[in-house]
Amino acid sequence: MPHSVSQDDADQTQDLLEQAGHQTQESEFFNPIPPGYVRGRHKYVVVFGTVMSGLGKGIFSSSLAKLIKDKGLRVAPIKMEGYLNIDSGTLNPYRHGEVFVLDDGLETDMDLGTYERMLDQDLTRDNYVTSGQIYRNVLDKERSGGYLGRDVQMIPHVTGEVKYKLRELAVKQRADVVFVEVGGTVGDHENAFYIEALRQLAFEEGPGSVCYVALTYIIEPPALGEQKSKAAQLGLNKLMEAGIQPHMVACRCQNPVEQGAKEKVAMFSNVPVERVFSMHDRPSIYMIPTEMREAGVDRHILTMLNLHERVNVTQEDRAREKWLSFVNKVTAPRKHKARIGLTGKYASLRDAYASIDKAIEHCATMMDADIEMVWIDVTKEDAPPIAQQLADVDGVIVPGGFGHRGTEAKIECVRYCRENKVPYLGICLGFQMAVVEFARNVCGLNDAVSSEFAPESPNRVIDILPEQKKIEGLGGNMRLGGKDVLIKPTTLAANLYYNTRAGKHNRHEPFNIRERFRHRFEVDPQYIETLESHGLIFSGRHPAQPIMQVLELPQPGSVNAEANAYFQSQGGHPYFIGAQFHPELLSRPVDPAPMFMGLVAAAVQHANPDLDPKHIAPRWLPDPEKDKPVTV
């Protein structure tokens, strides 16, 4: 087993492996080491899944990584997927949930969102790898002669590429601990080479360098009334057959895992019972780090990896206090209630909108509100009219998406919210549909549409800009990743961001924020003047190009309301805003997304009209006195 190798043997093996890089192809060792890598400086925690997928490896791994980060250590998570796709950009949400976009533009699966939220840490393309990426790298090297004429094989070359990827991540992000989540389940064909590479990693790095954690499942059949560990035992045996001796086991179960079940798992996995952790269902995933700490999971990791000397106790105390304050709010009874409708074409699968769901949870916790999400499928042909479906909601989200299906229903959602003054947040496609609806029903452009759905229509208010049309290939003309957005002062957008994300700026001057994008179509610049002259406010735009990125309707009390044509005819709207970007991707538990904060506050106000708005969320309210333009 990896932890039974002596330090002298490991040192001798490492010397041979490093020498192999300078030897001929006759050596069977293949151990590429990235520049700057120092063995012993970087440690690894590897999380495998057994029995079945979907048990929450990402939640467990990110929670454990948070505990280690709270102690002052640098952590770098990585998700290793078995599928051959290069990224997650073309995956159907019904198969893998939402597509999460990193700041550098890589499209990943939803687990990267879990890591970013739990760690409050921006990740990069180095934190995500697929089999497709690994194979492509190996084949590119083979074509360029990188293997000195050797026959290229799964072992050692493909496994060597995996190890190189992990070590390169450790160097680039200067990680004390790299947290490796292996996608899928032990026994799957597609992740077998990952498991073999990670077995080799422990052998090469030496004792005290790699900690293996197995996530398994304890079955609790209602008809039997007791917990059964046999499936867990068989799954763990499968892992050990691959040469992996787990150091720790996490047991998923509906209820707390009983001592007897823990003892059976310990017996059949050679893991001390004190290292068998009950990862049962909790009211919130954000409770898991605290309960892992109470169970001593973090201390076991520090001991096995010899990391106690790197702990910053003062920082840990501060981080623990801050997190406990948030968790206590998560579990406490709420003062306010409201219902928010999400109108999408994947509404039957909540994972398709996981980041939106979490953003609402973050904001509701901060505002002491109990928010009921109403999931409305806009693609059902036999569904009641939109007005009927939205009659009892206090706020509406029209999320992003691609394709024509359901868009007319989304436009009706926008119209209902605009005319009935229901708080509205449009995201990406929801932003575009708000432009189309306003153009049709306020500006009189009855045939207004997006060129994505009607490329021959004369009034394509949403279109691909000329410079984008020059780029060919699916996804080639997408705007992906973090981009700057210039926010116009004395607007709703400015109020939302000024006290949260903008830093210290003169509130009478424009300022930049950074948000993440994933879209292809824009507001056609030739329609901007028409839209604005009828009262639509573009409060966020590209810093240098005529690309509109935030829209809104004037609020009651807005300093611009008296001169606004729409305001004069319709009156102010309590909360109507749209973003071409995806604000949910940057929402964090202790730093919620400002646009969602505004929506939740407005929804609570809508549900409780007699409630003093200042007792809900004063940050999002317009302040005519402070926002009054300065006379020079």
Of 159-163, 267-271, 495-499, 573-577, minimum mean pLDDT range: 495-499
Range from 172-181, 332-341, 500-509 that averages highest in pLDDT = 172-181
Q: Alpha carbon of 126 to those of 42, 97, 105, 122, 170: distances in Å?
A: 16, 21, 12, 11, 10
Tell which wins on pLDDT, 30 or 423: 423
Do the domains at 2-13+44-74+162-326 and 334-462+476-627 have one common CATH topology? yes
Angle at 401 between CA 285 and CA 91, to 5 degrees: 70
pLDDT digits (tens, 9 = 90+) for 277-317: 999 999 999 999 999 999 999 999 999 999 999 999 999 99
Angle at 354 between CA 590 and CA 333, to 5 degrees: 50
Q: Which residue, 83, 252, 419, is CA-closest to 91?
A: 83
pLDDT digits (tens, 9 = 90+) for 551-595: 999 988 776 676 677 777 778 899 999 999 999 999 999 999 999
| Cα dihedral 380, 384, 385, 389 sign | negative
| 437-461: average pLDDT | 90
Q: Give me the residue label for tokens 């094989």.
A: 153
3-state helix, strand, coil in the chain (%, to 5): 40, 20, 40
CATH superfamily of 2-13+44-74+162-326: P-loop containing nucleotide triphosphate hydrolases (3.40.50.300)
pLDDT digits (tens, 9 = 90+) for 498-556: 866 655 566 678 999 999 999 889 999 999 999 999 999 999 999 998 899 999 999 88
Element (H, E) at 280: strand 276-280
**CA-CA distance, 146 to 160, in Å (whole number)?**
13
Six-digit token pair at 189?
């064909």
Q: What mean pLDDT value characterizes the chain? A: 88
**CA-CA distance, 193 to 156, in Å (whole number)?**
10
- In the prediction, which pLDDT does 4 show? 47
Q: Alpha carbon of 278 to those of 249, 256, 266, 328: distances in Å?
A: 9, 6, 12, 21
Omega cis (within 30) before 156: yes
Annotated catalytic residues are: 428, 582, 584
**CA-CA distance, 531 to 534, in Å (whole number)?**
5
Give the Cβ contact number of residue 206 at 10 Å: 21
Per-residue confidence band for 441, with pLDDT thresholds at 50, 70 and 90: very high
| 455-470: average pLDDT | 77
CB 280 within 8 A of CB 269: no
Domain boundaries, the chain: 2-13+44-74+162-326, 334-462+476-627
Which residues, other chains included, contact 456 with Cβ-Cβ below 8 Å and sequence gap of 6+? none
| Residue-by-residue DSSP string for 52-118 | SS-S-HHHHHHHHHHHHHHTT--EEEEEEE-SS-SSSTT--HHHH-PPEE-TTS-EE-THHHHHHHH
| 462-481: average pLDDT | 65
Phi, psi of 38 (to 5 degrees): -120, 115
Tell which wins on pLDDT, 13 or 123: 123
Six-digit token pair at 511?
């300022």
DSSP 8-class letter at 236? H
| Residue-by-residue DSSP string for 537-558 | EEEEE-SSSS-EEEEE-PPTT-
Half-sphere exposure of 480 (CA within 13 A, CB side): 19
Range from 193-202, 404-413, 621-630 that averages highest in pLDDT = 193-202
Q: What share of the chain in percent tops pLDDT 90?
A: 67
- In the prediction, which pLDDT does 306 show? 96
Question: What is the SS3 assignment for 161?
Answer: helix
Tell which CATH classification among 3.40.50.880, 3.20.20.80, 2.40.30.130, 3.50.50.60 matches the domain 334-462+476-627.
3.40.50.880
Burial annotation 230-263 (CB, 10 A radius, 16+ → b, else e): eebbebbebbbeeebbbbbbbbbbeeebbeebbe
- In the prediction, which pLDDT does 7 show? 56
| 41-69: average pLDDT | 94
